[in-house]
């Protein structure tokens, strides 16, 4: 493995790039403001009948419940929160304490508390009940991920721009392009507008990488390592799988030939690092004690479903058997739904050849996360846009992309920029399909759903509207009119499971059994033609 340039070496021309760097930060600040404005507009327009500022579903209800309970009740008893915003399917109760379970990591709820508090203040000023449930409280809470994502992009830009020192160059514009490509070409952009914890991992992982870059060779910087421990601890309690990041600095250390000659200062800095990581876990352990009656457990192993305990072994399988599906299935496959990630991983592998000591820890982190998720029955993430569980790896995708750009010649750089831009458009089209319910949430896709419909999004939307209009007619007893609407859609647009299914039901309602059976066979053939 190639030796690293000395971290203290001054990069040629770096000081001349400072104004350009400041402009890039300003651009990201404006971009973050634009994200907030976009959020407010989309929430008001509610495309597909789905507003953004709301507390519904299952996981989002519990994330909000923990934030609200800590801020207003100063405890982990979620009964009043779940009474106000009931989770889909009802809560699971802890057998040890009789309290509602909350088997999700606490970090995102802690990060969202200031936003919930700010929204509550606005409610009080507007004359609304200042109880944390009113309009601006929910809106403020819902905006947390959007703002955190913007801050995460700034931290990611810093890290990617500094990584140019490996090549002795400073091209802030390249780092800015990659930062924005990570937003539009991975799951980051989609989950920046969601009340789930995934996008906030971009902030945690980017801060961790940026801080690690500064202190990785400096064993005397105890404060710096303590700060790295803070970022690592927060990241690991946002989603527990991110504990893999905490181990990465040690993988970098053991590849240092002079490791043992600097053991004493190394030990002091790493003790500070691990101590702060441990302190960050205190709120998580306290929550587990409050709800489950003990400090240490695996919450998923004590989840109750229909009154029966669900064991971890029921959904974790070793060796990991679902890695191919996780990466390549049309049902949320990471490389297929967000193909920019494939290029990023290729860049990481190339970086391993060039600067092994830097890239080795992060490839190990990525491999561990893929193996962990790929061993679970829930690898697909349910009704998920791409693999939401791998959102934290988006910062590593950025490292791989910037590696390709920094090491490529001028023509190759433009080719990479062009390819990345096209893949970002592809993923954004996918996000629109998913958001507007133009594709199923948890199914393998047909070739037209995977590719053709992205070029014909307007037609796909009109086709969906025709299906919805026909469903309304059918509910009102107007089967013949519904058949007419659906037959027109079937003749005009690309073949669709929704149109065929609607025709089957409309023919049945109209008493045309033979035609209904034809549509049934047609639907079966279409389902058999779905991609992997």
Please state the rounded mean pLDDT for residues 386-412.
93
Write down the residue that tokens 């240092």 correspond to: 256
pLDDT at residue 346, rounded to an integer: 96
pLDDT confidence of 18, banded at 50, 70, 90? low
- Of all helices (H) and strands (E), which one includes residue 308? strand 308-309
434: its two tokens: 């998913």
Question: Which residues contact residue 49 at a Cβ distance below 8 angstroms, ignoring those fewer than 6 apart?
Answer: none
pLDDT at residue 12, rounded to an integer: 37
Q: What percent of the chain has pLDDT over 90?
A: 70
Backbone angles phi, psi at 100, to 5 degrees: -60, 135
Please, what is the average pLDDT of the chain? 89
Backbone angles phi, psi at 62, to 5 degrees: -75, -40
Domains of the chain: 15-35+144-303+322-434 (no CATH), 53-142 (no CATH), 457-528 (1.25.40)
Lowest mean pLDDT among 49-58, 178-187, 305-314, 432-441: 305-314
pLDDT confidence of 90, banded at 50, 70, 90? confident
pLDDT confidence of 1, banded at 50, 70, 90? very low
pLDDT at residue 428, rounded to an integer: 96
pLDDT at residue 307, rounded to an integer: 38
H-only helix segments in 321-409:
323-328, 334-337, 340-354, 356-373, 394-407
Report helix, strand or coil for 217: coil
pLDDT at residue 299, rounded to an integer: 76
pLDDT at residue 263, rounded to an integer: 78
Please state the rounded mean pLDDT for residues 380-401.
93
Residue 531 has pLDDT above 60, yes or no: yes
Q: 308-309 and 304-305 as β-strands: parallel, antiparallel, unpaired?
A: antiparallel
pLDDT at residue 11, rounded to an integer: 39
Residue 335 has pLDDT above 70, yes or no: yes
What DSSP character marks residue 2? P
398 contacts 160 by C-beta, under 8 angstroms: yes
How far is it, in rounded angstroms, from Cα 117 to Cα 213? 34
How far is it, in rounded angstroms, from Cα 470 to Cα 353? 58
Cis peptide before 319 (omega within 30 of 0): yes
Which of the two residues, 409 and 451, has the higher pLDDT score? 451
pLDDT at residue 160, rounded to an integer: 96
Report helix, strand or coil for 100: strand
What pLDDT, in 10s, does the model give residues 471-524?
999 999 898 999 999 999 999 999 999 999 999 999 999 899 999 999 999 999
Q: What angle do CA 356, 180, 200 make, to 5 degrees?
A: 80
How far is it, in rounded angstroms, from Cα 247 to Cα 274? 10
In terms of Cα–Cα distance, which of 85, 45, 78, 310 is closest to 195?
85
Residue 102 has pLDDT above 70, yes or no: yes
473: its two tokens: 């007619």
pLDDT at residue 302, rounded to an integer: 58
pLDDT at residue 303, rounded to an integer: 58
pLDDT confidence of 465, banded at 50, 70, 90? very high
What pLDDT, in 10s, does the model give residues 233-252?
999 999 999 999 999 999 99
119: its two tokens: 């929204």
187: its two tokens: 């799951």
Please state the rounded mean pLDDT for residues 76-88.
93
What pLDDT, in 10s, does the model give residues 286-331?
999 999 888 888 776 555 543 344 444 456 778 899 999 999 999 9
CA separation (Å) from 262 to 8, 65, 215, 269, 345? 18, 47, 15, 11, 33
Backbone angles phi, psi at 93, to 5 degrees: -100, 140
pLDDT at residue 467, rounded to an integer: 93
383: its two tokens: 């009704």
How far is it, in rounded angstroms, from Cα 506 to Cα 491? 16
Please state the rounded mean pLDDT for residues 345-366.
95
In terms of Cα–Cα distance, which of 131, 118, 393, 344 is closest to 241?
393
Residue 3 has pLDDT above 70, yes or no: no
Q: What percent of the chain has pLDDT over 70?
A: 92
Lowest mean pLDDT among 10-19, 22-31, 63-72, 260-269: 10-19
pLDDT confidence of 255, banded at 50, 70, 90? confident
pLDDT at residue 444, rounded to an integer: 93
Q: At what angle do helices 394-407 and 340-354 cross, to 10 degrees?
A: 60
448 contacts 495 by C-beta, under 8 angstroms: yes
In terms of Cα–Cα distance, which of 406, 397, 390 is closest to 187?
390
pLDDT confidence of 442, banded at 50, 70, 90? confident
pLDDT confidence of 409, banded at 50, 70, 90? confident
What DSSP character marks residue 93? B
What pLDDT, in 10s, does the model give residues 103-161?
889 999 999 999 999 999 999 999 999 999 999 999 999 999 999 999 999 999 999 99
pLDDT confidence of 48, banded at 50, 70, 90? low
How far is it, in rounded angstroms, from Cα 501 to Cα 510? 14
Which of the two residues, 443 and 311, has the higher pLDDT score? 443
172 contacts 186 by C-beta, under 8 angstroms: no
Q: Is 429 exposed, middle or buried (0-12, 13-18, 19+ CB in 10 A)?
A: middle
pLDDT at residue 260, rounded to an integer: 62
Instruction: Encode burial over 5-19: b for 16+ CB neighbours within 10 A, e otherwise.
Output: eeeeeebeebeebee
Residue 5 has pLDDT above 70, yes or no: no
pLDDT at residue 325, rounded to an integer: 95
């Amino acid at each position: 493995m190639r030796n690293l340039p000395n971290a203290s070496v001054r990069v040629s021309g770096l000081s001349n790039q400072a104004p350009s760097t400041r402009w890039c930060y300003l651009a990201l600040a404006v971009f973050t403001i634009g994200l907030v404005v976009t959020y407010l507009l989309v929430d008001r327009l509610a495309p597909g009948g789905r507003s953004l500022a709301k507390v519904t579903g299952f996981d989002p209800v519990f994330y909000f419940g923990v934030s609200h309970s800590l801020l207003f009740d100063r405890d982990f008893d979620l009964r009043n929160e779940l009474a106000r915003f009931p989770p889909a399917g009802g809560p699971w109760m802890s057998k040890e304490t009789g309290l509602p379970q909350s088997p999700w990591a606490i970090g995102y709820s802690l990060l969202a508390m200031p936003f919930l508090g700010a929204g509550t203040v606005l409610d009080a000023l507007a004359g609304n009940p200042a109880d944390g449930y009113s309009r601006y409280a929910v809106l403020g809470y819902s905006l947390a991920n959007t703002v955190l994502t913007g801050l995460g992009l700034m931290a990611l830009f810093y890290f990617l721009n500094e990584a140019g020192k490996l090549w002795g160059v400073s091209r802030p514009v390249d780092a800015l392009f990659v930062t924005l490509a990570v937003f539009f070409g991975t799951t980051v952009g989609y989950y920046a507008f969601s009340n789930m914890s995934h996008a906030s991992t971009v902030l945690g992982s980017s801060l961790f990488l940026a801080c690690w870059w500064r202190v990785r060779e400096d064993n005397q910087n105890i404060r710096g390592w303590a700060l790295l421990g803070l970022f690592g601890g927060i990241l690991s309690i946002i989603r527990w799988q991110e504990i893999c990041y905490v181990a990465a600095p040690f993988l970098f250390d053991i590849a240092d030939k002079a490791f043992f000659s600097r053991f004493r200062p190394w030990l002091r800095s790493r003790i500070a690092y691990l101590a702060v990581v441990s302190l960050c876990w205190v709120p998580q352990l306290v929550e587990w004690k409050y709800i489950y009656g003990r400090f240490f457990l695996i919450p998923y192993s004590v989840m109750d479903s229909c009154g029966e305990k669900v064991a971890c072994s029921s959904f974790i399988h070793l060796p990991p058997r679902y890695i191919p599906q996780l990466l390549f299935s049309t049902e949320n496959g990471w490389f297929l739904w967000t193909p920019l990630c494939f290029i990023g991983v290729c860049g990481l592998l190339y970086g391993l050849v060039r600067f092994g000591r830097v890239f080795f820890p992060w490839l190990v982190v990525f491999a561990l996360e893929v193996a962990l998720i790929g061993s679970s029955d829930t690898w697909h993430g349910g009704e998920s846009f791409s693999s939401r569980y791998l959102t934290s790896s988006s910062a590593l995708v950025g490292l791989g992309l910037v590696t390709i750009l920094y090491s490529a010649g001028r023509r190759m750089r433009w080719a990479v920029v062009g390819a990345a831009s096209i893949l970002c458009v592809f993923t954004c089209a996918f996000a629109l399909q998913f958001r507007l319910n133009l594709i199923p949430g948890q199914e393998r896709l047909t070739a037209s759903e995977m590719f053709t419909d992205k070029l014909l999004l307007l037609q796909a939307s009109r086709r969906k509207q025709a299906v919805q209009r026909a469903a309304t007619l059918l509910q009102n007893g107007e089967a013949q009119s519904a058949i007419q609407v659906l037959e027109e859609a079937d003749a005009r647009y690309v073949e669709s499971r929704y149109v065929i299914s609607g025709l089957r039901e409309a023919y049945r309602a109209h008493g045309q059994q033979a035609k209904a059976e034809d549509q049934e066979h047609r639907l079966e053939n279409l389902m058999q033609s779905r991609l992997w």
